[in-house]
Amino acid sequence: MVHDFDETDDVIFLLSTDWFSSWIVSLGQWRGGQASIERTKNIARRATSDLLSGAADYYFTDLSPTRKAATFDRFMKALRPSLDEQELRDLFRLVRFVSDQSLLTREQRWALKAALIHEMVGGFEADARAALGAGVVVVVVNTLELLGVGEIPFQPESRWDLELDGKFGGLSGRLEDYAGSVYAPNVLLHEVAGATRRLQYTPLDVELLSDWWACTAQHLSMYVDPRSLAILLSRFTEMAGES
């Protein structure tokens, strides 16, 4: 897995691909029209081309935090006039999902996703249904099915997608790694939090859900602090309220 702390380049890379652009629309994470996603993709491609500047490999470019911040700032300045208020909110949420430093590590968030997949395959036993609630179970199942049971497999839809995927040290998989292990778990957390908001779950309900979810992840050999999970769900709930 990649362990960069500054992942803003990857926001640009993902948005430049036909593959990921199609995914965020199908997941309901981009509510603008096709024209706006095309504009976003084209601006991301120009930013990617400038970033790579003809280099055969991303790792041969300037990887300093200063350069990354400047690149992302130029990208946002070019993109902002092209999007309406709703599309900008969707963009900022996507940026947070890919680049935000969470209370939980990427591996812990991945484990939470895996725990729900495990429960879904098992049909959600009584304790899972009691902790999640029927309404949240429906959201979990729908979201995981949209995610391809929790994954976003790399299925290139254009020559650009293929060529970009080969720019990372000669090893394919960086784009899929960020989509599946960083972005997808945050989509799931966001959708669960949004459901608890719509269903008017109390803080105690969320605490019980977090305790159960963290315990289930621990059965998969990954410790997750239930208090941190509860706080993270609360933050995602606030984000859902802004949507």
Q: Which residues contact 180 (CB under 8 A, 6 or more apart)?
A: 150, 151, 152, 153
C-alpha separations of 191 from 31, 98, 176 in Å = 15, 16, 21
How many CB atoms within 10 Å of residue 164?
A: 22
CA contacts within 13 A on the Cβ side of 48: 23
Q: Which residues contact 116 (CB under 8 A, 6 or more apart)?
A: 140, 144, 150, 188, 213, 216
Count of domains for the chain: 1
Q: Does 128 fall in a domain?
A: yes
Q: Does 3 fall in a domain?
A: no
- The torsion of the CA quartet 238, 139, 137, 111, rounded to 10 degrees, works out to -70
Q: Does 25 fall in a domain?
A: yes
- Determine which of 10-14, 87-91, 199-203 has the lowest per-residue pLDDT on average: 87-91
Q: Does 2 fall in a domain?
A: no
- Determine which of 35-44, 118-127, 179-188 has the lowest per-residue pLDDT on average: 179-188
Q: What is the band of 5 on the pLDDT scale with cuts at 50, 70, 90?
A: very low
Q: Does 1 fall in a domain?
A: no
C-alpha separations of 133 from 140, 204, 209 in Å = 11, 13, 9
- Taking a C-beta distance cutoff of 8 angstroms, is the pair 231, 182 a contact? no
Exposed (0-12), middle (13-18) or buried (19+): which is 156, by Cβ within 10 Å? middle
Task: Report CA Rg, the chain.
Answer: 18
pLDDT (tens digit, 9 = 90+) per residue, 42-78? 999 999 999 999 899 999 999 999 999 999 999 999 9
Tell me which residue range forms the domain holding 104.
8-242
When comparing pLDDT for 13 and 235, which is higher? 13
% of the chain surpassing 90 pLDDT: 62
Q: Does 52 fall in a domain?
A: yes
Q: Quick one: DSSP state of residue 180?
A: I
Give the predicted TM-score (pTM) of the model: 0.85
**Helix 34-52 vs helix 18-26: angle between axes, to the nearest 10 degrees?**
140
Q: Does 138 fall in a domain?
A: yes
Q: Does 145 fall in a domain?
A: yes
pLDDT at 163: 93
